[in-house]
Amino acid sequence: MAAHPILHDRLPASSPGLCLAVLADNDARPGFCAEHGLSLWLMLPGGGLWLWDTGQSGLFLENARRLGLSPETARGVALSHGHYDHAGGLEHLLRRPGFKGEIVAHPAFAIPHYRRTASAFACDIGCHCPPPLLKERLRVVHAPTRIDSGLHILPAIPRQRGHRQATGGMFLDAGGQWPDIIPDDACLVHTQGGTLTVILGCCHSGVANTLDAVREHFGDAPISLLLGGLHLAGEDRQTILDALEAITRHGVRALCPGHCTGETATALLREQFPGPVIPLAAGLILELRGDAP
């Protein structure tokens, strides 16, 4: 049986397991600030430091400072996709002289991304980090890739017929003529002690497709934790229950929903999911130690 996530008030100086700190989320713990976005600090068991997304502004840097963390020391930033609420803070980090890390992303993170709701025109939701700042730092990944000890990125997640995708209203142009399937959507997978931790950005590929892809590459190892945005905000009860069915079918043992999951979906997941459900919030610190003794 995999151990449940351990909550901390401060990030441990070292750990035999994976440690995560939430630097940006739609919600925040007292003393921290929230924004519509996602950014995580990952401390690997061997001491490697990584960022997963950068929120929509420089706020993740301020929340990191409040936690006593220095994002400039990270080995790199892995991007879940090229939307402003996940990559908008990238320029703030790249302009800091102390940061020497790489940027790991699917190449489509830099293509135009638009979203249309009630307006006749779509609004620009893409990443606009100046290309000169990315020069010689960008590591393009087209397929599942190991980026550090035990840490893998899965981009270009296959979409299975009949499985929901969270791509409605997304376009490649301001006029809303060319649908955007968000091919850059990615997740992270950390492997340790025979268990997996799956870390989402916005899960535009859909949770069923994402977990299918994880199984394709990592087999049937227990998924000790599924963490991140599930893109269920504003969805009806059946859509949320369908996502829960996929999560349960894949044997996920603990959930940390956040960002685009939405309050209604989070409440239903807490009611229906058999394992622990810990909502994300800026300032939250988790530790995972692999298999329980």
pTM for this predicted structure: 0.96
DSSP letter at 169?
T
Instruction: Residue 87: name the closest of 185, 170, 165 by CA.
Output: 185
Half-sphere CA count of 185, side-chain side, radius 13 A: 26
Note the pLDDT of residue 1.
40
CA 83 to CA 97: how far, in whole Å? 25
Counting the structural domains of the chain, the total is: 1
Note the pLDDT of residue 291.
52
Determine, yes or no, domain membership for 194. Answer: yes
Determine, yes or no, domain membership for 168. Answer: yes
225 sits in which H/E element? strand 223-229
CA 231 to CA 257: how far, in whole Å? 10
Q: Are strands 195-200 and 145-148 parallel, antiparallel or unpaired?
A: unpaired
Determine, yes or no, domain membership for 293. Answer: no
Determine, yes or no, domain membership for 220. Answer: yes
**Bridge partners for 190 per DSSP:** 151, 197
Question: What is the domain range of residue 236?
Answer: 6-288
Spacing of C-alpha 262 from chain mean position: 15
Note the pLDDT of residue 292.
41
Note the pLDDT of residue 3.
60
Determine, yes or no, domain membership for 1. Answer: no
- CATH number assigned to the domain comprising residue 217: 3.60.15.10
Compute mean pLDDT per 10 residues along the chain, 293 residues long, and list them: 78 92 98 98 96 98 97 97 98 96 97 87 93 95 97 97 95 94 98 96 98 97 97 97 98 98 98 97 91 43
